[in-house]
Amino acid sequence: MFDHPSDDLSCYTESEIINKIKAWLGTTTGLSPMGIGDDCAVFTPVPKQEYLVSTDALVYGTHFDSSISAQKAGNKLTLRNLSDIAAMGGQPKHATISIISSSKLSIKWLSDFFAGIKETSDQYGLKIVGGDLCRLEGPQFHAVMNIIGSSPRPILRNRAIAKDRIYVTGTLGGSILEKHYCFKPHLSAGQWLSSESLASSMVDITDGIAKELPFLLSDNTSASINLDNIPISDAAWHLSNQNKQIALKKAFCDGEDYELLFTLNSNADHPKFETQWSSRFPNVKLTQIGTIVPSQGADLIIDQSTQKPIDWILGFDHFKT
């Protein structure tokens, strides 16, 4: 099971593994939007009523360590899942939580973890309706949350077409300093983009825009990026010792920003859109970082100023080593 170094998970990127799973499941996974691969799964329990399910795990040693309090870990598990709902333009409703834990876990720690889940759930109107407890050997703790949400019009991936403008919320990079456990999921902004049919495609940035930008693209398109417009965070500047090239790379490649990355429909009035955004979400910075263009061969991300591929970027990958 674990001793096949020539063909184990570390030989493939996360996208490659997801594509394999799609192939393995065949017709058992439905056609998009009913198949796998977006921020949330979409299902239609009653005709014309689309629902979303997010699934996201929080693993001790991977997503948090003992430098973060149990309450902040509970906040983070909930916020991560809310961000997936936001990325579809959805409204969170009900959640389940699976706890897989060592029996040596302290009750005080678990109590604080649930206090964090409760705090964030109450803030966003989420109800915890069920779950599961399961024991594991060794000093380990994993929690998996699923949020069920509603969306009259889910905003999917791979729908951006040429001339759509590419926008990003907030600032990027260096989330490891603090943001990764205390960000704000952009639920209201996502819901507004959905209800007004403004966004052609949207994801939340969990693994860096270098990895997320290609997810926006429909066939035969590329993302043409204005590097001068990338909103680099103070944390990324700080971590790069004010070196612009390093800071830019952090903004492109660091994980866990949980900002929204989306494309505005090319037929939308973009100055009006930007004005409306500023008045509706005055605390959510919005930046146009590029435009979707017809495909330039196999290169999915292109520097707008040189028209050459941006090949110094590589998003975070969960498996490939």
Site for a copy of itself in 21-50 (CB under 8 A): 21, 24-26, 28-30, 34-38, 40-43, 45-46, 49
Any contact of residue 17 with a copy of itself (CB under 8 A)? yes
H or E element, residue 250: helix 244-253
Any contact of residue 176 with a copy of itself (CB under 8 A)? no
Closest CA to 157 of 125, 189, 203, 114: 203
CB 302 within 8 A of CB 310: yes
Cβ-based nearer residue to a copy of itself, 123 or 288: 123
Any contact of residue 305 with a copy of itself (CB under 8 A)? no
Any contact of residue 309 with a copy of itself (CB under 8 A)? no
Q: How far is the CB of 82 from a copy of itself (least distance, A)?
A: 14
> What angle is formed at CA 77 by the lines to CA 71 and CA 81, rounded to 5 degrees?
145
Cβ-based nearer residue to a copy of itself, 55 or 218: 55
Cβ-based nearer residue to a copy of itself, 128 or 284: 128
**Segment 80 to 99, residues that bind a copy of itself, using CB under 8 A:** 93-94, 96-98
SS3 21: helix
CB 234 within 8 A of CB 170: no
Any contact of residue 133 with a copy of itself (CB under 8 A)? yes
Q: How far is the CB of 194 from a copy of itself (least distance, A)?
A: 17
Any contact of residue 67 with a copy of itself (CB under 8 A)? no
How far is it, in rounded angstroms, from Cα 13 to Cα 285?
31
In which residue are the tokens 């979707």 written? 292
The crossing angle, in degrees rounded to 10, of helices 107-123 and 70-86 is 30
Any contact of residue 130 with a copy of itself (CB under 8 A)? yes
Dihedral class, residue 228 (left if φ above 0, else alpha if ψ from -120 to 50, else beta)? alpha
Applying CB under 8 A, which of residues 107, 279, 283, 311 lies at the interface with a copy of itself?
Answer: 107
Any contact of residue 136 with a copy of itself (CB under 8 A)? yes
Q: How far is the CB of 23 from a copy of itself (least distance, A)?
A: 9
Any contact of residue 213 with a copy of itself (CB under 8 A)? no
Q: Hey, what are 58's tokens?
A: 């929080």
How far is it, in rounded angstroms, from Cα 213 to Cα 301?
8
Any contact of residue 129 with a copy of itself (CB under 8 A)? yes
